[in-house]
């Protein structure tokens, strides 16, 4: 990692910590307007959710100093919230458990936490909730040094706001990855506007790919003529590549075009888009023409690819 990237990561983590601790009320004397500190609440959580837990086990799980944890547990015992019984496997250890009073205290604290977070989440639009959930899962996975594991891929029709996202992401990605100019963004915006203005659901479609509730890709099929459909605006987000999303989007376009009665599916792309061209070739498209151009800034070769849809 370059020093500037490292510094940016440090600043971002510290900024988020300051924001979130303020947002959830950690800085107040009592967590969630209770008599418990954040650490005491976490100890209560462990006691409520673990069977046969010991002080040593809680200390390891939470990374707490054993002496500090011992003081917390003594406070809980004096308040009648925690009981101890000898461990059957190690006489030096005691099994800890919440008493009835302890469970009542935890239940009240848990209800307040649930209500506070619900209010925060309910204030967000559906897309905001999906982004928040995905972002928090990503933060947890990255900091624990584990992979995300397999995430479900969903292909769905476009919803309000998706077309604007398609324009935005095309402009950002192709400018960043290939240095293309505003001419490309203009073209994407024109295609998108025409799709919205003249959309024919029987013969046209727009698909959005979601990977684990995160917007991950897009594609369109639009009418060129009664017999020819055009595949447009295939996009897969960098973080979502390698999951076969581009292939699935193109396969669905082929299936839709056949079902809509077209005899040919055509597309226009550029020679620098090697990953996309491999997907097209695998799906059965054949290169039919090429021409050099500099419409988007850097010189490149535009290519037309066709797929015969006839049986």
Give me the architecture of the 3-123 domain, per CATH.
Orthogonal Bundle (1.10)
Distance CA 294, CA 137 (A): 42
Can you give 96-148 as a three-state secondary structure string? EEECHHHHHHHHHHHHHHHHHHHHHHHCCCHHHHHHHHHHHHHHHHHHCCCCC
Listed in sequence order, the residues at least 6 apart from 36 whose beta carbon sits closer than 8 Å to its beta carbon are 30, 44, 105, 109
User: At residue 45, does pLDDT exceed 50?
Assistant: yes
Q: Report percent pLDDT > 70 for the chain.
A: 92
User: At residue 177, does pLDDT exceed 80?
Assistant: yes
> Can you name the residues that pair with 264 across neighbouring β-strands?
228, 308
13 membership: H or E segment, kind and range: helix 3-23
Angle between helices 38-49 and 100-122 (to 10 degrees): 110
Listed in sequence order, the residues at least 6 apart from 57 whose beta carbon sits closer than 8 Å to its beta carbon are 50
Mean confidence (pLDDT) of the chain: 87
pLDDT-based confidence at 1, cuts 50/70/90?
Answer: very low
Listed in sequence order, the residues at least 6 apart from 50 whose beta carbon sits closer than 8 Å to its beta carbon are 57, 58
The lowest-confidence range among 104-118, 126-140, 222-236 is 126-140
- Tell me the CATH number of domain 153-308, given options 3.40.630.30, 3.30.530.20, 3.90.1170.50, 3.10.105.10: 3.40.630.30
Domain boundaries along the sequence of the chain? 3-123, 153-308
Q: What are phi and psi of 294, to 5 degrees?
A: -135, 35
User: At residue 149, does pLDDT exceed 70?
Assistant: no
Residue 51 has what pLDDT? Answer: 76
User: At residue 135, does pLDDT exceed 50?
Assistant: yes
- How far from chain centre, in Å, is Cα 267? 29
Tokens of 129: 């909730």
pLDDT tens track for 69-81: 899 999 999 999 9
Distance CA 264, CA 71 (A): 75
pLDDT-based confidence at 15, cuts 50/70/90?
Answer: confident
pLDDT tens track for 193-215: 999 999 999 999 999 999 877 89
Residue 3 has what pLDDT? Answer: 67
Residue 26 has what pLDDT? Answer: 58
Average pLDDT over residues 160-183: 95
Strands 214-223 and 82-86, by their bridges, are: unpaired
Distance CA 285, CA 267 (A): 9
């Amino acid at each position: 990692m370059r020093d500037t990237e490292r510094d940016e990561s440090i600043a971002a983590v510290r900024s988020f910590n300051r924001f979130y601790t303020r947002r959830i009320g950690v800085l107040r004397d009592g967590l969630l307007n209770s008599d418990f500190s954040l650490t005491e609440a976490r100890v209560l959580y462990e006691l409520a959710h673990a069977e046969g837990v010991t002080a040593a086990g809680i200390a390891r799980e939470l990374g707490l100093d054993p002496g500090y944890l011992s003081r917390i547990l003594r406070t809980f015992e004096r308040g009648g919230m925690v009981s101890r019984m000898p461990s059957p496997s190690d006489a030096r250890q005691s099994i800890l458990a919440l008493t009835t009073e302890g469970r009542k205290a935890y239940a009240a604290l848990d209800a307040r936490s649930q209500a506070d977070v619900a209010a925060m989440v309910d204030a967000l639009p559906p897309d905001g909730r999906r982004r928040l959930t995905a972002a928090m899962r990503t933060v947890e996975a990255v900091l624990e040094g584990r992979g995300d594991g397999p995430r479900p891929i969903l292909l769905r029709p476009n919803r309000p706001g998706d077309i604007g996202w398609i324009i935005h992401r095309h402009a950002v990605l192709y400018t960043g990855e290939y240095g293309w100019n505003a001419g490309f963004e203009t073209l994407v915006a024109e295609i998108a506007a025409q799709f919205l203005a003249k959309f024919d659901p029987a013969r046209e479609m727009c698909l959005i790919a979601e990977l684990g509730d995160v917007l991950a890709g897009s594609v369109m099929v639009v009418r060129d003529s009664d017999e020819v459909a055009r595949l447009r605006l295939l996009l897969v987000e960098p973080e979502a590549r390698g999951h076969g999303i581009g292939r699935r989007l193109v396969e669905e376009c082929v299936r839709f075009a056949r079902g809509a009665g077209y005899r040919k599916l055509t597309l226009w792309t550029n020679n620098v888009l090697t990953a996309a061209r491999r997907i097209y070739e695998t799906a059965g498209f054949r290169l039919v023409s090429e021409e050099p151009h500099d419409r988007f800034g850097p010189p490149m070769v535009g290519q037309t690819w066709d797929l015969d849809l006839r049986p």
